[in-house]
Amino acid sequence: MKIISVVGARPNFMKVAPLHRAFEAAGFESLIVHTGQHYDEKMSDVFFRQLGMPEPDRYLGIGSGSHAEQTSRVMIAFEEVVLEEKPDCVLVVGDVNSTLACSLVATKLHIPVVHVEAGLRSGDRRMPEEINRIVTDSISDYLFVTEESGIVNLRREGVPDERVFMVGNVMIDSLVSFIDKARETNTPAGLGLEKGAYVLMTMHRPSTVDSNEGLEKLVATVEQIGARYPVVFPMHPRTRANIKKFGLAGRLSELPMLQILDPLGYLEFLGLMDAAGIVVTDSGGIQEETTWLRVPCITLRENTERPVTVEMGTNELMDLEPERVAARVVERMTSPGEKGTTPPLWDGHAAARIAETLGSLRWKNAA
């Protein structure tokens, strides 16, 4: 069987790495296509190296742009690849623009589409990722789900049960494989941070960081937390550019306990997350990683597409209200009792389950 797995943006790499390994172990011909949605050394290349992935078989070099520009450029370039390679199926992960673009291309060429991390729904259609999830799931042939809510959502949207497989979480596969190496980087100590005594922050969603109002609130939150605890903030290029654009960089540079860093490698970030007292974020994947690590997490969003992290894990949602968030950080830093549990099948073997399921299906082009 010949399978093309698509990666485009930072959160895709740690999902495809274990899948590629499992596909090779199963004897599939496994190709990796990188759309180039993320292209910087720090947003892309370092992940390939640290995750032990081979160079992508094809690099499409799409880069940044508006949603329509980025999505359409990926579609045009990916169509050529699919026509040349004639895979038995195309696998996409997550919810980024590359996921949507490549699933559309494949399905129109009558190539079966496999979606890993299917069924997640925030219920918020103003999020670009939510549109990408809904469209990708509606045209996918095989849908691999990380948590129970995914099954419920897909059923409600009329996806037949026989296409849906609950397999666990491939991002957790990578975490399980690399946590020891991550700890060996001693990243917190290198930054002068003590285990359990600092706050790790990440924020990059357009809904917060693209407006002056959202960024003002973010900066005020960092000021309030940073007055009390050391804060380390690896910053997405979008957030860094907008802080500069709205003239807020000066306020942050005045905080002695704040370290703003460039985006970190996978191992360094995992090491920082593992030893943090609490993580404050708007990321999707970090809600899941902190749940597995049993590290408290506050997600500064109105909703989450990953409700299991709140129901079973260490995550809670809060509005971006600086004083309330800072007060809650203090509460959770000082009451380390609550720990949560690991969601079902988040055990490091999700990719193997996906390979086994795909191997058992009948493929049109297979000999």
| Residues near ligand UD1, by CB under 6 A | 9-11, 37-40, 43-44, 64, 95-97, 128-129, 204, 236-238
Which residue number, 100 or 182, has a Cβ lying nearer to ligand UD1?
A: 100
Pick 245 or 324: Cβ nearer ligand UD1: 245
Nearer to ligand UD1, 73 or 236 (CB): 236
CB of 124 to ligand UD1, least distance (A): 13
- Residue 160: CB minimum distance to ligand UD1, A: 28
Closest distance to ligand UD1 from the beta carbon of 209 (Å): 9
- Residue 118 in 3-state DSSP? strand
Residue with token string 């011909």: 29
* Pair of tokens at residue 344: 């079902």
What are φ and ψ of residue 249, in 5° steps? Answer: -65, -35
**Alpha-carbon gap, residue 71 to 307, rounded angstroms:** 28
Residue whose CB is less far from ligand UD1, 29 or 302: 302
Q: Measured between alpha carbons, how far apart are the two ends of the chain, in Å?
A: 8
Of 20, 115, 204, 349, which residue is the catalytic one?
A: 204
Residue 110 appears among annotated catalytic residues: no
By the 8 A CB rule, do 298 and 325 touch? yes
Minimal distance in Å, beta carbon 10 to ligand UD1? 4
Strand 164-166 versus strand 278-281 pairing type: unpaired
DSSP state for residue 319 in the 8-state scheme: -
Closest to ligand UD1 by CB, 6 vs 352, is: 6
Token pair for 201: 């922050």
Reported in sequence order, the residue ranges of the chain that DSSP labels E, i.e. its strands, are 2-7, 29-34, 58-59, 89-93, 113-118, 142-145, 164-166, 199-202, 231-234, 258-261, 278-281, 297-299, 315-317
Rounded least distance, CB 212 to ligand UD1, Å: 18
Give the active site residues.
204
